[in-house]
A and B are shown apart, each in its own frame.
Chain A
Amino acid sequence: MDIRSRNNVVVAGRHGAPVLMLAHGFGCDQNLWRLVAPALAEEFQVVLFDYVGSGRSDLSAWNEDRYGSLDGYAQDVLDICEELDLRDVVFVGHSVSSMVGVLAATREPGRFGGLVLLVPSPRYIDDGDYRGGFSTADIDELLESLEDNYLGWSAAMAPVIMGNPERPELGEELAGAFCRTDPAIARVFARATFLSDSRADLPAVRTPTLIVECDQDVIAPREVGAYTHAAIPGSRLVTLRATGHCPQLSAPEATAAVIADFARA
């Protein structure tokens, strides 16, 4: 199968420059990077993609078995690296994708020159002394929320993109696909995300790692950032003055700057 179309791979920026691979998390697709990708593409070669099941990926390649655990998503990342013959990749994973990056980098360390974990959480559910911020009942409630938006999903989740004066065709093109999710697939991704426990994988990371957290984030609170920082040997932690779980949207300049600083080093 053609990996590029399967994962809707988009390569932008300077050919031959160091490679940044930007991986979206649960809830949207590569569009989530649109406020930071152009700035990063001035200096780096930027690889964007959609996980199978998200965005404009090939849904016929999706199956519950593979994408029911984070391993399947890590395999998508490794497939793309192999297809594009990428080396020394700086992998930037948002939210659950940060743990996908951890999995990929421990499986094939030779591919990766660095890991940027953007608002990571190795486990969302509280466990003994560990504070992930959520209970199992909370996760069930989220799955219920997904169900509740089932009927309105196709209409509500694929609205027209506003304002692309320089590329009017973009709005139309994206309207059908933007953050579009098949509810059955979203449910599987949600479970894979929020029921995952990647804590045991963290100490095995040998790739230089930057952890980026927001000072107010209900999904990945600061103690989770501190935990991740302590568990990955030699990692660095940066706290952005930003609110919410998507600093690439709420604080795009600062986010692009910390990614670029790390990738340059």
Chain B
Amino acid sequence: MQRSRPTDAAFAALLEDSAEDLYENAPCGYLSTLLDGRIAKINQTLLGWLGHERAQVVGRMSFSDLLTVGGRMYHETHFAPLLRMQGEVGGIALEMRTASGERLPVLVTSTVRTASDGAPLLIRTTVFDARDRRAYERELLRARQDAERDRERLQNVVATLQRSLLPPSLPRVPGLEAVAHYHTASPDNLGGDFYDLFPLGDGRWCFFLGDVCGKGPEAAAVTSLTRYTLRAAALHDPGPESMLRSLDTVLRDGQAAHPAPRYCTLIVGTLTPDEDGFAVTLAAGGHPPALLLGADGGARHLDTTGGMLVGVIPSPVFVTVEARLRPGDTLLLYTDGAIEARPGPDRERFGQDALLSFAAELAPAPAPAVVEAVVALLEGFGAGLDDDTAVLALGVPRASPGDGTPV
């Protein structure tokens, strides 16, 4: 006790301020108003900020008289009703008008003081000078608006670039219905899936569908390279397997200059018209197998197991398979987004077998109906589908009743 006395004395000296002084010269503004808004009490700090004399304010002005007109409207439409209903409102940004006409940004908190029976008596308000904070908030707001604009710009760029990697529309192939769909996982990022369908010039057609490793601008660059290489290779030697080899060479040639691996999975095929449909030759490297939905109602994989990734393995093996598309048959190509999706609460992979069962349920079905059903399936995956997915369906329409010719 003895030793603490000098400390007490020092505090007492320091704290030689009354409640009155604490109120008047607090580092924030204090204000008490009657329920009709008239100011009953105001501290010296706030008077100093506003440049008003006490006599001009107390009993003569109301709280909203101290605000800018915009602040007053905000006060009347938002602040006052909330205060009435809740008994307190905190941290609201308002602007006060000083005696010299300047605007003073403030943060205002009010509480209603009630009598013992709960009846409201008066409103107590604290006012904080918010010039610095509001300048900071405006910066944040501006940064947010900038970020929103940038994001919009980025999404435009991504969408435009993505479109440039896909054919704007599929060509009309006599005797064939061709329908494609591209599911974009994120508007902020470029996917690496692609497809194409184009004439080989001798009545035959070429198509491909694949998936470049990775996402973003680098994947887009590889996608672009892949598409143009395949198109050029098709002119040179339109066999699906030799097209895969040409692409493999091009991708591996450039590998040294690129730190990130550049490879893809791919199915390439040709369509050769025959008496009532098309002969199909397919070659695949590292890609999930195409599905054939038969006119008879069955569905099966066109097995290309053993085909290796394109662009990364020395002397890769690619697997070729032959098939026929007759009236009512539909060939379905897809990228792995469709089978790697993890729908449902258990996050179980959808899988190749599930897609085969889905196709078997669907068959027989023309190409537009197949794509429509797959799109619905993908949408049903919801958040379980987080990868881009490309789908290409090629079907030979059934003969129209009576005329016996394909439509």
Interface of A toward B, CB cutoff 8 Å:
25-28, 31-32, 34, 95, 134-135, 138-152, 155-157, 159-163, 179, 194, 216-219, 243-246, 249-250
Contact = CB atoms under 8 A, between A and B. Distances in A.
Given A148-B137, A155-B91, A244-B37, A162 B86 contact: yes
Contact of A141 (B68, B88, B90): B68
Contacts, number: 114
Report the interface size class on chain B: 35 or more
B78 interface: yes
Given A148-B137, A155-B91, A27 B78 contact: yes
A245 B64 CA distance: 12
Contacts of B84: 246, 249-250
15 contacts: A28-B82, A134-B69, A135-B69, A141-B69, A142-B69, A145-B71, A148-B93, A149-B74, A151-B140, A152-B93, A162-B88, A179-B78, A243-B62, A244-B36, A249-B80
Interface in B94-110: 94-95, 105
Contact of B64 (A95, A162, A218): A218
Contacts of B72: 218
Contacts of B87: 162-163
A89 B140 CA distance: 48
B37 A145 contact: no
Given A134-B69, A245-B80, A249-B81, A149 B86 contact: no
Given A134-B73, A156-B89, A159-B88, 9 more contacts: A28-B77, A141-B69, A148-B105, A148-B134, A149-B74, A150-B141, A156-B91, A157-B78, A249-B80
B35 to A, nearest CB: 7
B74 A145 contact: yes
A149 B68 contact: no
B86 A28 contact: no
Nearest to B78: A27
B76 A245 contact: yes
A163 B73 CA distance: 27
B86 A219 contact: no
Contacts of A217: 76
A252 to B, nearest CB: 10
Give the most central of B73, B89, B90, B91: most A CB within 10 Å: B73
Query: Which 4 pairs from chain A and chain B are nearest by CB?
Result: A141-B70, A27-B77, A243-B36, A138-B69
B85 interface: yes
